[in-house]
Amino acid sequence: MTKEENGSYSSKPEFAHEMKAQGLIAHWIRGEAETTIPAIIDGKFDTPGIDTDTLADRSDVNSHSFLDFSDFDIKRYHSGYEQGVLPVETSRGCVRNCVFCDIPTWHGKFRYKNGTKLSNELIHYYEKYQVKDFFFHDALCNGSVKDFKLFNHNLMDYYTQNNLPERHFKYSSHYIVRSERIMPEEDFKFMGSAGAECMVIGVESGSDRVKADMRKGFNNADLDYNMKMFSKYGITVYLLLIVGFPTETRDDFNETLTMLKRYQPYVADGTVIGVNLGTTLTIEEGSPIYTDYSKLNIVGTNGNRPQGPDWHCETNPTLTYKERIMRRIEAQEYATSLGYTFWKGDDQLKLLMDNYTTRLHKLAGVIH
């Protein structure tokens, strides 16, 4: 392979084609296993998603069977949990359509498990494998607020019926910020009591204007409310940020720094357990910003299509790649001074600097 490829999210899975052409694989799957693996077992290789550039047909998540871990030594992969931890899926897709995210494109219309089915799945794993800790590995646990509420209430009912304490189970998940009208305080109380442990939140920016450009679907007032509730009911938070969105001005970036300062008390009380500052905005194939980049006046480098980190915004010319890196460094230095911890923060900075150096060499003619 001579070209970098973002796995199954590329328009054509060149790596899979090459592997099959060399006889290194028999088949590849693009998309969901629920509609392809049974077809492979039955020898129906002309099924969409099997050896095709197109995605497999999508499945009904409420028809999925519970996973069978009977031949899997869960405790050998305990990740620090005494009885081990198991992955669970609450939904596929997303109810939102953030301009930088490719999930809606590749996963299609949002599909979610009924709250009763989801709670029964956790109960099943506990009763069969004695596991009490779970990680929801999809994009969000509260896409269907109705079913999320039902799920938490069902767990509380199970605890009561079996003389178990609150938070007998623990679950962590990606989560989207909801307004107080949609999720009043009672919902957070039940979340905490049912076992919500850590919520991973795509905050992205401290600027309401930039969040609106991103189509995040919430504002700072909504986020402040959620943070207050998380702290009150013992739910920890991991924050995801994007430094250097195309429309981000210096004033917008300063609002992000102000937000970090505003949430420092939540770092001190243990509510915020970390922050991921990323590697500035990269434009991914399948995202709305990739498809309709001209809407934000984005152009690529040297006349190429905007992709990855190779772009600039014509209406925000001071936001160069160098400036994005400088803001990313500043954000980490400032957050460090406030006591935030990071996921691969230094590694991300090294990647940014390596990419920047490579670009300079190309411009100088060192690399052809």
Asked whether 286 and 9 are in contact (CB, 8 A), the reply is yes
- How confident is the prediction for the chain on average, in pLDDT? 93
Report the range of poorest mean pLDDT among 45-49, 156-160, 350-354, 355-359. 355-359
Asked if the model's pLDDT at residue 10 lies above 70, the reply is: no
- Count CB-CB contacts under 10 A for residue 51: 19
Nearest to 8 by CA among 30, 32, 33: 30
Over residues 123-136, the pLDDT tens digits come to: 999 999 999 999 99
Nearest to 132 by CA among 69, 86, 188, 197: 86
3-state secondary structure 213-235: HHCCCCCHHHHHHHHHHHHHCCC
Phi then psi for residue 150, to 5 deg, are -60, -45
pLDDT of residue 8: 47
Over residues 169-183, the pLDDT tens digits come to: 999 999 999 999 999
One DSSP character per residue, 61-95 reads: GGGPPPP--TTS-GGGG-TT-TT-EEEE--EES-S
Collapsing DSSP states into helix, strand and coil, what is residue 362?
helix
CA distance 363 to 17: 33
pTM beyond 0.95, yes or no: no
User: Residue 283 CA to chain centroid, in angstroms?
Assistant: 15
Fold of 79-364: pyruvate-formate lyase- activating enzyme (3.80.30)
Phi then psi for residue 88, to 5 deg, are -140, 150
Q: Pick the residue with more confidence: 7 or 36?
A: 36
Asked whether 296 and 246 are in contact (CB, 8 A), the reply is yes
Q: What element of type H or E holds 328?
A: helix 321-337
Percent of the chain with pLDDT over 70: 95
Over residues 326-345, the pLDDT tens digits come to: 999 999 999 999 999 998 87
The conformation of residue 280, written as its DSSP 8-state character, comes to B
| Residue 162 banded pLDDT, cuts 50, 70, 90 | very high
3-state secondary structure 107-160: HCCCEECCHHHHHHHHHHHHHHHCCCEEEECCCCCCCCHHHHHHHHHHHHHHHH
Asked if the model's pLDDT at residue 3 lies above 80, the reply is: no
Asked whether 186 and 225 are in contact (CB, 8 A), the reply is no
For the record, the structure tokens of 62 come out as 């409420």
Domain boundaries, the chain: 1-59, 79-364
pLDDT of residue 80: 85
Burial of 48 (0-12, 13-18, 19+ CB in 10 A): middle
